[in-house]
Amino acid sequence: MDIKKSFYTSSLLRAYFDERLSKLFWAVGILCLSILLGVTGYMSIEGWNLADAFYMTIITIGTVGFSEVHQLSDEGRLFTAFFIIINLAVFALFASVLTSYILEGELREVFSHYISNRKVKRLKNHVIICGFGKNGQKTCEEFFKEKVSFVIIDKNLALLKENPNEFDRNPDVAYIEGDATQDDVLKIAGVERAFALITTLPYDADNVFVTLTARQLNPHIKIIARANEATAESKLLRAGANRLVRPDLIGGMYMANLVTRPEVVEFLDMISGTGKLKLEEFSYSDFREDFRDKSILDLGIRNITGAYIMGFKDADNGFLINPTPQTEITEGDVMIVLGTAEQIIGFAQYYTTKKIEELYFKKKN
């Protein structure tokens, strides 16, 4: 089964590159056909050997003005005249296509897509972002900060090409130019190996289709979908989305809260990705064995690191806000820790095996 999938994906990639290189292939093919015509003509009309016929054909096509290999007959001169006229168009076509691939960046773009698709093949447990609009771009910016491996899918990646340096800073990022609603494109993006998929397409119908397709291809993938209208929420959930986001609704609520609850919004801004305070989650499996199955009081987190336990997700009872000191961290629990970057790093180094030092220092700088 894996061999079949690999062959299928390879076939899709070959079809993509064949399409992008089709003009170059056609130009090279016509040039080769012209050379074959010239060699055949001189061999049959003048009776020359292959080497002489090939040399005469090349200097005629190239219009370099060298002398004839042998004295031409009247039929040979007539053939050469028509051959020169034909090759004026052939050579102009070939030069035009080759120039466009070299100077206009077409060949570089094809090579870039080839490298990107090689990156996708190596990715596992990555995130797929469908749509590189405003929401998609902001999502990518956050993933760059968090050093998350992801794949971008969009029909038109012109905006992405305006800032290619982002890719140099994260070699695990890849992109695919195509329609995310197509099964083939999602398979090339590695949907069957992906951890999560975020669909931010401008139309709800497309987001529903992407969600439904991704859920069928990978029943375990986490899907975050954009919903523009309230009527689309139920459809997206039925299609298999785990969480929904309505950007317009969130933006409107944020602006309203700036008027009615400005201090609350200021505090939330402080703990956002760009604020001075950081929120980080640590699961039971992140903790060192000697700190598992102990209460918050026994761990002495505040005294040792200065960090604060903002929330606690109990595997059985759900979220607990401001948990009591007697709350124990057990199998399946998640602890939400609030503090400065230094406090979070200190917490991680002392209590857990989670490596976040490089990430937080990068954010700080």
CA–CA distance from 315 to each of 102, 158, 184, 295, 332 (Å)? 58, 45, 38, 15, 5
Asked if residue 223 and residue 281 are part of one domain, the reply reads no
Asked if residue 348 and residue 244 are part of one domain, the reply reads no
Lowest mean pLDDT among 27-41, 265-279, 280-294: 265-279
Give the DSSP letter string of 211-239: HHHHHHH-TT-EEEEE-SSTHHHHHHHHH
Q: Which residue, 73, 103, 133, sits at the end of a domain?
A: 103
Asked if residue 237 and residue 306 are part of one domain, the reply reads no
Higher pLDDT among residues 149 and 356, named by residue = 149
Higher pLDDT among residues 88 and 241, named by residue = 241
Supply the DSSP symbol for 282.
Answer: E
- Residue 82 falls inside a structural domain: yes
Confidence (pLDDT) at 136: 87
- Residue 116 falls inside a structural domain: no
Check whether 25 has a pLDDT greater than 90. no
Check whether 168 has a pLDDT greater than 50. no
Domain housing 152: 122-250
Check whether 364 has a pLDDT greater than 50. no
- Average pLDDT over the chain, rounded to whole? 80
Q: 222 - beta bridge partners?
A: 196
Q: List pLDDT tens digits, range 69-86.
A: 788 888 888 888 888 888
- Residue 268 falls inside a structural domain: no
Asked if residue 47 and residue 167 are part of one domain, the reply reads no
Tell me which residue of 105, 103, 68 sits closest to 83, measured CA to CA. 68
Asked if residue 232 and residue 136 are part of one domain, the reply reads yes
Asked if residue 280 and residue 246 are part of one domain, the reply reads no
In one-letter notation, the amino acid at residue 319 is F
Asked if residue 158 and residue 230 are part of one domain, the reply reads yes
Query: What CATH code is carried by the domain that includes residue 242?
Result: 3.40.50.720
Res. 351 pLDDT band, cuts 50 70 90: very high
- Residue 91 falls inside a structural domain: yes
Res. 149 pLDDT band, cuts 50 70 90: confident
- Residue 282 falls inside a structural domain: yes
Lowest mean pLDDT among 20-24, 211-215, 239-243, 340-344: 20-24
Q: List pLDDT tens digits, range 120-130.
A: 778 888 899 99
Asked if residue 165 and residue 91 are part of one domain, the reply reads no
Asked if residue 195 and residue 288 are part of one domain, the reply reads no
Give the DSSP letter string of 246-268: -HHHHHHHHHHHHHH-HHHHHHH
Nearest 10 degrees: CA dihedral of 198, 204, 208, 209? Answer: -100
Query: What CATH code is carried by the domain that includes residue 27?
Result: 1.10.287.70
Asked if residue 229 and residue 194 are part of one domain, the reply reads yes
Query: What CATH code is carried by the domain that includes residue 353?
Result: 3.30.70.1450
Asked if residue 99 and residue 9 are part of one domain, the reply reads yes
Asked if residue 126 and residue 99 are part of one domain, the reply reads no
- Residue 114 falls inside a structural domain: no
- Residue 111 falls inside a structural domain: no
Supply the DSSP symbol for 290.
Answer: G
Number of domains into which the chain is organized: 3
Query: pTM higher than 0.75, yes or no?
Result: no
Q: Which burial class, exposed, middle or buried, applies to 38 when counting CB atoms under 10 A from its CB (0-12, 13-18, 19+)?
A: buried
Q: Which residue, 250, 283, 308, sits at the end of a domain?
A: 250
Confidence (pLDDT) at 240: 92
Q: Which residue, 250, 284, 315, sits at the end of a domain?
A: 250
- Residue 269 falls inside a structural domain: no
Confidence (pLDDT) at 211: 95
Q: List pLDDT tens digits, range 26-64.
A: 777 888 888 898 889 888 888 888 888 888 888 888 777
- Let me know: does 164 contact 155? Beta carbons within 8 Å: no
